[in-house]
């Protein structure tokens, strides 16, 4: 069995209801506050995560290895979460995805000894017994999202070893804390090319847990809102106003859904932010980062702090916040 690795990497060292189709003019997203962190610069290899206190979590230590770094919200302290050596072949685990519960518990999905496991760490970094997802044969997990209730939403696809009728199709389910499937979801995410995803040529959907307790999945042309019971609450279709960009992440808070639109121009990665109303999908606005945010990566989003960005300035990490006007 092979394991898919989400391949959107950000390197800080040296950085870096239906909505109507509308023409959206970008507005500038400006810095509201900024300060230098005491934590030295580092490299991370997948989308970061945040808890409800604003602490930031990063997959570090290599593109495939399993090591999560937690940086406190003020940047003063750091802590590493790793699979302990008592787990057989822990050094051979292959990273797939991780998710942070609002409380700060960390869940890491990784391939080990021929199957995927989910490793749960509490807020102090202590690891519980691994969770073995009871998935159908041939399913490769690419994304997970977790809630404080420890429900897990898992997304993936059926690989080439699967029966012809499902091969190459997406798979989504809500898992119980034990890993048992509580509810399979037969929901299609419009615009997502599963063949490209399986071949490693497309990114898997962005995942987020909303303050309403629902999971949000962002694909190329819509955001799915799914309850923890596995029910489709609503679809939020959107028109990508920047056709050369790709939706890569989603943030949710304060009644807003922020879809991150990423593009690459002359080897420079650029992110813009399409903001929707979480209740209807209506477009609030399209925001282009101010120049001082241009080489920073978006970390967290909350109604109080706004969007949090992290980047390198003169070999020091700088944390900045910006509010959508």
How does DSSP assign 81-102, residue by residue? EE--TTSTTGGG-EEEEEEE-T
Question: Which residue has better confidence, 315 or 199?
Answer: 315
Rounded mean pLDDT, 234-251: 95
Sheet holding 256-265, edge to edge: 26-29, 283-289, 268-277, 256-265, 246-253
pLDDT score for 14: 32
Instruction: Report the pLDDT value the prediction gives residue 12, as an integer from 0 to 100.
Output: 38
Is there a contact between 146 and 133 (Cβ–Cβ < 8 Å)? no
Q: 272: which strand partners?
A: 261
Domain positions in the chain: 10-322
Query: Is pLDDT above 50 for 28?
Result: yes
Residue 232: other Cβ atoms inside 10 A: 12
Question: Quick one: average pLDDT of 185-213?
Answer: 85
pTM comes to 0.89
Please, what is the Cα angle at 203 between 201 and 99, to 5 degrees?
145
How far apart are alpha carbons 249 and 273 in whole angstroms?
10
For 107-144, how does the pLDDT look when each residue is reduced to its tens digit (9 = 90+)? 999 999 889 999 999 999 999 999 999 999 999 999 99
Mean pLDDT of 18-39: 80
% of the chain with per-residue pLDDT over 90: 74
Tokens of 183: 């509810």
CATH T-level fold of 10-322? Neuraminidase (2.120.10)
Distance of alpha carbon 226 from alpha carbon 101, whole angstroms: 16
Pairing of strands 26-29, 283-289: parallel
pLDDT of amino acid 303? 87
pLDDT at 185 over 90: yes
pLDDT at 23: 66
CA-CA distance, 194 to 189, in Å (whole number)? 10
Residue among 266, 138, 259 nearest 191 (CA): 259
Q: How confident is the model at residue 295 (pLDDT cuts 50, 70, 90)?
A: confident
| pLDDT, tens digit (0-9, with 9 covering 90-100), for 132-183 | 999 999 999 999 999 987 899 999 999 999 999 999 899 999 999 999 999 9
């Amino acid at each position: 069995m092979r394991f898919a690795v989400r391949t959107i990497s950000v390197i800080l060292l040296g950085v870096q209801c239906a909505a109507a189709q509308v023409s959206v003019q970008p507005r500038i997203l400006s810095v509201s506050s900024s300060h230098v962190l005491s934590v030295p610069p580092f490299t991370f290899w997948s989308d970061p995560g945040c808890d409800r206190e604003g602490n930031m979590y990063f997959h570090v230590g290599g593109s495939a290895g399993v090591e999560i770094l937690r940086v406190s919200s003020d940047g003063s302290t750091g802590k590493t979460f790793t699979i302990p050596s008592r787990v057989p072949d822990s050094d051979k685990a292959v990273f797939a995805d991780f998710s942070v519960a609002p409380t700060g518990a960390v869940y890491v999905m990784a391939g080990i000894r021929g199957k995927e496991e989910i490793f749960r760490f509490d807020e102090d970094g202590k690891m519980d017994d691994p969770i073995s997802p009871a998935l159908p044969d041939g399913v490769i997990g690419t994304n997970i999202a977790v809630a404080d209730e420890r429900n897990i939403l898992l997304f993936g696809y059926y690989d080439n070893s699967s029966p012809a009728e499902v091969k190459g199709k997406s798979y989504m389910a809500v898992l119980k804390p034990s890993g048992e499937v509580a509810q399979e979801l037969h929901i299609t995410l419009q615009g997502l090319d599963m063949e490209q995803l399986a071949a490693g040529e497309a990114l898997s959907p962005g995942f987020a847990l909303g303050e309403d307790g629902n999971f949000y999945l962002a694909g190329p042309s819509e955001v799915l809102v799914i309850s923890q019971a596995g029910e489709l609450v609503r679809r939020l279709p959107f028109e990508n106003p920047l056709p050369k960009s790709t939706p890569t992440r989603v943030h949710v808070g304060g009644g807003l859904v922020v879809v991150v639109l990423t593009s690459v121009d002359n080897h420079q990665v650029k992110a813009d932010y399409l903001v929707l109303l979480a209740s209807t999908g209506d477009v609030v606005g399209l925001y282009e980062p101010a120049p001082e945010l241009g080489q920073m990566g978006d970390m967290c989003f909350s109604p109080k702090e706004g969007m949090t960005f992290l980047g390198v300035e003169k070999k020091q990490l700088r944390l900045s916040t910006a509010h959508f006007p």
